[in-house]
Structure 1
Amino acid sequence: MKIIGSMGKKTENLKIDAKKSFLKRIAKNVKVSEGERAVEDILRCIYRNQPISTKKIGQYVKLPLPIVSKVRSILERESLLKRDDKGAVLSKKGIDFVENELGLKLKSDMKCPVCSGRNIVFDEKFEKILKKHKTYAKLRPQVNTMIDQSFATPETATARAAIMADRGDLEGKRVLFVGDDDLASIPTAMTGLCSEVVVLDIDDRLLKLISEVSKKENLNIRTVKWDFKNELPSEFVNKFDTIFTDPPYTLNGAVLFMSRGIEALGDNGILYLAFSHKPVEEYIELQKSINNMNFLIYELIPGFNFYEGTEIIGNTTFLARLVGKNLKKIEVNSEKIYTGELKPTLRYYQCMNCKKIHEVGNKVKRIEDLTCECGGKKFSMIKRAKVKQK
């Protein structure tokens, strides 16, 4: 009897191991840092939302679209998925696998259908602000990828203002934007709630646009050109109540921009951080830095921020509301804070006019410097490739 019992236990383990081995094999093939959990998340997303597009899957599971696309292709080859005009759908074999091997049962997504998990809904006031801001967002220049620019949608910029207002971080408060390529200062100032709104940024083009809109709308936004590799001028030290920053998507960049925010806050205050979804190991390092600064992650909303023209990375980042007491800066290597400095890459853009593909990052350093032979100046990024460092 003992032998039979032992054999039964081993058979069960073999079944579990086979499931894990299958997921692990796919994760290894596509080189996803999150491992088999990422593959399981993709399957769960499809199970609950089918049919669903690759882009929507990427936004849901917070993974780059090339990764999602590769996983989807493998699952199709394994006959777990089938194609539908509206997106990915599980086959009969796929449904059997996710229900019997993964134990999935929930067949619908329980996220709020109104706010899509953002925890904020616009009232009439913010709908009016959004309508105006959409007009001004169209005036933004081409992104400068050398400094990790990627513009948030007008809805995102307005949602940032709305959530800060809802949490009581605008009324009578002095608000500083440590960088503002998303123009979130504009809907923030349009609320009429702040005692002061200041924007520090390195990009003259954006500062000029913000100033022009501020003058037209009588918003009184103060703009100052500043490179955050340098400490803040003394006039901005210990003067603000609320900070908002969407820093370069590197640990060094995030820590540096938050440290500048601490300079502006002084001992205590609120800092909103928009940052990209990362593998768990990188999240842990970011969390350690946040803790060492004496910030509490009071709220964190995944997928809060959506960006224009960044389908390659799934379009979303999280928003965290950090509450600080007895704050402390952390010194980092400020010479390398942008993705291109730490992880050099080649980017491939497709001309939206003639569809020709161009390489950016070698002879042409920035997308801003690219003009297609057909005269086209609008491009869509289709893929990236890492540069091997010597």
Structure 2
Amino acid sequence: MPTRSRNRTGASAPPPSPLDAFRGPNPPGALTARGITATLEMPGCLRRAVFDAAGIGLDTIAPVLGCPRGEQAQHAFSRGNTFEERVMANGCAELLALLRAHLGLDISQVRVVDLSAQQVRADHGRANNSLRATLTRQHLIRMLSGDPSAAVLLRHAMTTLQVGSRMAYLEQDALAVVTDGTISIIEVKSFPKLDGRADPGKADAAARQSAVYVLSLIDTVVDDGFDPDVVSMRGLLVLPENFGLNPVANVIDLTTRVNRLRQQLADRPSDVQLAALLPPGLALPRLPHPTKATDAELKAIRPAVATAFSALPAHFSDGCLACPAFRFCREETVRTGAVAQLGSTVSTACGNVTSIGTALALAHGDRAPDDEAEEALAEHLQRAVAVRSRAVS
């Protein structure tokens, strides 16, 4: 049996973050796999980076900023729960059939352990994240050590991942030991696989979340003395078929995504660097519950939150469409006459010229270029103006 190191879930608390003061009286929100990937996939957005690092997700901030709440969120949540119950029903019979078909699971006796908060509370009288992570580690050790009575499938396992100064507790839909003795991540999503094909964007987002789980799982097993190769880079994405709830599955190769995620975490700005972007003394007011707050409550604190949000550098681009704060940033670019409102292609072409007014002044010769970059841009814009003039004539 491998030598095991000290349990990370029992380690001393990390030192305070310089972003704690910015968070004000608000408790830090939980880090999720979706939140981690959303932050890292927008590396130029320092607004999102600061708020996420401070423990204030943009899902909480967006309603205060006047951005609409996701109307489809509750429906999608309900459908997701219904589909997961279908997949996990009858001792995970349908999921085990998919594991046999796609990952080569070959077992004579099914041993499923549920580590959900509800089940852990029933078994232990409490269900905090630290306990669930400890129980997950104990089961993983038995599974990877060849214990014949160990679980074959863990439901709602919880592992941890250090992101900056914060510890993320991540709950997987399921973990399974497959024939070659490796642990595989299983992700259950409710968007459909239509005519044998899943939505590419949603499937990629699910794969990126699975990569977060894989990296977290690698850290966990390595901490317990196992080789990182015991974590499989082949994940299983379980989806409903067409418009029903019959589960089907895709095997996804997570190698590239895991490597990219590891590099993104290494390149992530530190909390000290992010805190340096904030004006001295800037702090958020107490935030109401994002879904239960009244319009009057949201309106009362909107100026203070908008001031804090606007104090950070903007990075508006085509990739912002899925961000909860998209409407606020878009309206800001329109109000300030920013080139970014015209799309990433135009914004990239204009380089350091971020104002539409400045770009038009260069185009019409009303402004002398400040440097070689502006001189080159002015030349291109003036050529475009000439072409347009000839076309109109």
Using the size of structure 2 for normalisation, the TM-score is: 0.25
Q: Which has a greater percent of strand?
A: 1
Structure number with bigger Rg: 2
Using the size of structure 1 for normalisation, the TM-score is: 0.26
Q: Which has a greater percent of helix?
A: 2
Relative contact order higher in (CA < 8 Å, ≥ 6 apart): 2
